[in-house]
Amino acid sequence: MHLLFRTSCLFSCLLFVTVVNAQVAPEVQPNANTPVYKLKIKPKAEPSPALRYTLYPEVRTQVNGNAAQGYYRAFSPDWMSYRNDKEYSKKYEKWLSVPLKELDEKEINIPQGMLTQLHDSALKNYCDWDMLAKLRKDGISMLLPDLQGMREFSRALSIDCRVQLKKGEIDKALADIRTGLTLSHHLGEGPTLIQGLVAVAAGTMMFPRIDELISHEKAPNLYWALTTLPQPLVDFRTGLGGEVLMIDNLFPGMRDMLYSGKVTPITQEEMMKVFPLLEQLNVSDNKSSLKQMLVQAALVLNIEAAKKALLEHGITEPMLTNITPLQIIFMAEVLLYDKTYQNMIKWNSIPYPVARKRIKELDATIKKPETSVLSPFPLGTFSAMILPAVSRVMEAGPKMERRIAALRIIEAIRMQAAFDKAWPDSLEKITIVPVPADPFTGGAFAFKKEGKKITITAKVPEGEKPSTNNNFTYELELED
């Protein structure tokens, strides 16, 4: 995967998260624009001790070392050769979608050595992908060839989990889920947003397996195992911080000039190196490849707007007289990028339900500026090209936490039913453990009990139309 095509990659990752939710869960039944997950559940008390079962490694089980190195070892050509089967994609779709009782584990040839390596790697006490130096050097040209393989690891763990569930090996199934969620957390520690989105996709692949585990007759109650997961499971702060390095690589020295007040000329030759990358970043409908000098001339038409932005920032007129119009334009683009991007970082630090409105407003401000004959590349064009899809990226993590919260409620229901010897008929009747709010909207999940069925619904956010991305329902068939 190549960061140069980051916009399309980001959307591909976001689409993959949606596909994962629908593709790999046999219990998912489409219902208009609301995904429905159907489970059969029985009352189940809290384990003793409460954290007898965990979904993230305990400190006592961890060992010193870098998890990333271990994950890379799992790429052994001998182990990964099972993917060479021309029918593999069809097979894994079948293994992940057929009812569990129909799964033929004899067909599955995922190497146990690879799975063991993944389990061992997940127990390391830190994860450093060793990418910062390369990101500084290569910027948006940095290659990420390993990301697709990391998603394959999640898929392999998900498949093996189903095999273990069919065998009734609950501890081994839990180990697969634990490793999958830990891999997701570790991927989120990478310094790019694409890694964060792949982390969400990887973790999301474990949710259907948790659904199946909860439905299993031997299933323990996982309320506290889910509650003690890292919060958030995928933290985008490192990725948000790392993305800034791409601008330093693309426009070297210009950010330092903006904030130090020491503006020095950059040679025309150095600035012209920007154009090949910027032309490839242009994902607009205009497919023509303009000559670099024509683009430069068009940019200079924005000189007055660029000067105004820099003067308001504190750069003085004498400083601007010593540099070329093109450098002025590029410095103004970096400034616009920083203002918008730091707003992203700032609102990412606020709980999503509170920040959501501001994030949507921010997203609207970075749409590519309107062009005209006099200004075919208006100020803000390049910063808009480079900035990610703000709202789509920043909602990915909260959507993941939303599913975890719904699973916690299901386990709270099972725990309360075991204590009361009766199923609760409202969320208010669940008093044995705290009932989480919806981390996506900040409100409560909808609860409805009819006979031997309970539905838990993550509601459509206010002001939005229902879609497969903004709501879901769990239908719980109650068994005594």
Distance CA 312, CA 302 (A): 16
Q: Which of 9-23, 168-182, 252-266, 436-450 is least confident?
A: 9-23
pLDDT value for 288: 46
For residue 93, pLDDT over 70 is answered with: yes
H or E element that contains 148: helix 147-167
For residue 277, is it within any domain? yes
Q: What letter would DSSP give residue 84?
A: G
Distance CA 137, CA 340 (A): 24
For residue 77, is it within any domain? yes
Residues 348 and 452 in one domain: no
Q: Which of 61-65, 94-98, 141-145 is least confident?
A: 141-145
255-267 residues labelled b (16+ CB within 10 A) or e (exposed): bebbeeeebeebe
For residue 183, is it within any domain? yes
> Nearest 5°: phi and psi at 338?
-65, -40
473: number of CA atoms within 13 Å, CB side? 20
Between 480 and 412, where is the model more confident? Answer: 412
For residue 246, is it within any domain? no
Q: Which of 388, 408, 438 is the last residue of a domain?
A: 388
Residues 102 and 35 in one domain: yes
For the CA atoms of 231, 237, 240, 242, the dihedral, rounded to the nearest 10 degrees, stands at -130
pTM listed for this prediction: 0.90
Structure confidence by residue, pLDDT tens digits, 213-231:
999 999 999 999 999 999 9
Q: Which of 243-247, 336-340, 384-388, 399-403 is least confident?
A: 384-388
User: What would the mean pLDDT of 75-95 be, rounded to a whole number?
Assistant: 91
Structural contact between residues 105 and 163, judged by C-beta atoms closer than 8 angstroms: yes
For residue 437, is it within any domain? yes
For residue 245, is it within any domain? no
Q: What string of DSSP letters covers 244-298? A: HHHHHHHSTTHHHHHHHS------HHHHHTHHHHHHHH--SS------HHHHHHH
Residues 55 and 188 in one domain: yes
**Average confidence score pLDDT of the chain:** 88
Residue 472's beta-bridge partner residues? Answer: 458
Residue 214 region by backbone torsions, left for phi larger than 0, else alpha for psi between -120 and 50, else beta: alpha
Residue 38's beta-bridge partner residues? Answer: 475
Residues 164 and 274 in one domain: no
Domain interval for residue 330 = 251-388
Structural contact between residues 255 and 338, judged by C-beta atoms closer than 8 angstroms: yes
| Bond preceding residue 99 cis, omega within 30 of 0 | no
Residues 6+ apart with CB under 8 A from 345: 237, 240, 241
What strands, in cross-sheet order, belong to the sheet with 34-41?
28-31, 34-41, 472-478, 453-458, 446-450
Which of 24-28, 443-447, 466-470 is modeled with the greatest confidence? Answer: 443-447
3-class SS letters over 323-387? CCHHHHHHHHHHHHHHHHHHHHHHHHCCCHHHHHHHHHHHHHHCCCCCCCCCCCCCCCHHHHHHC
For residue 15, pLDDT over 70 is answered with: no
- Identity of the residue numbered 434: P
Residues 150 and 208 in one domain: yes
pLDDT value for 301: 75
Of residues 290, 270, 204, the one with CA closest to residue 24: 204
Residues 135 and 150 in one domain: yes
Question: What percent of the chain has a predicted confidence (pLDDT) above 90?
Answer: 66
**CA 52, 226, 207 angle in degrees (round to 5)?**
120
User: What would the mean pLDDT of 403-422 be, rounded to a whole number?
Assistant: 98
Residues 143 and 206 in one domain: yes
Distance CA 3, CA 1 (A): 7
For residue 225, is it within any domain? yes
Distance CA 193, CA 218 (A): 39
For residue 347, is it within any domain? yes
User: What would the mean pLDDT of 178-201 be, rounded to a whole number?
Assistant: 96
358: number of CA atoms within 13 Å, CB side? 14
Residues 312 and 397 in one domain: no
For residue 344, pLDDT over 50 is answered with: yes
Other beta carbons within 10 angstroms of residue 273's beta carbon come to 10
User: What would the mean pLDDT of 12-33 be, rounded to a whole number?
Assistant: 52
**CA 190, 358, 368 angle in degrees (round to 5)?**
75
H or E element that contains 184: helix 170-187
Between 32 and 78, where is the model more confident? Answer: 78
Residues 181 and 306 in one domain: no
Total number of domains in the chain = 2
Distance CA 470, CA 50 (A): 33
Between 434 and 270, where is the model more confident? Answer: 434
> Nearest 5°: phi and psi at 440?
-90, -35
Between 162 and 301, where is the model more confident? Answer: 162
pLDDT value for 12: 53
Structural contact between residues 277 and 4, judged by C-beta atoms closer than 8 angstroms: yes
Residues 202 and 340 in one domain: no
**Given pLDDT bands bounded at 50, 70 and 90, which one contains residue 56?**
very high
Q: Which of 388, 407, 438 is the last residue of a domain?
A: 388
For residue 24, pLDDT over 80 is answered with: no
**Given pLDDT bands bounded at 50, 70 and 90, which one contains residue 5?**
very low
pLDDT value for 8: 47
Residues 159 and 21 in one domain: yes
Structure confidence by residue, pLDDT tens digits, 33-47:
889 999 999 999 999
pLDDT value for 270: 86
pLDDT value for 11: 47
Residues 57 and 142 in one domain: yes
User: Helix (H, G, I), strand (E, B), or coil: what is residue 417?
Assistant: helix
Q: Which of 388, 422, 454 is the last residue of a domain?
A: 388
Distance CA 294, CA 433 (A): 66
Structure confidence by residue, pLDDT tens digits, 270-303:
888 887 776 666 544 444 444 455 566 666 677 8
- Identity of the residue numbered 372: S
pLDDT value for 16: 53
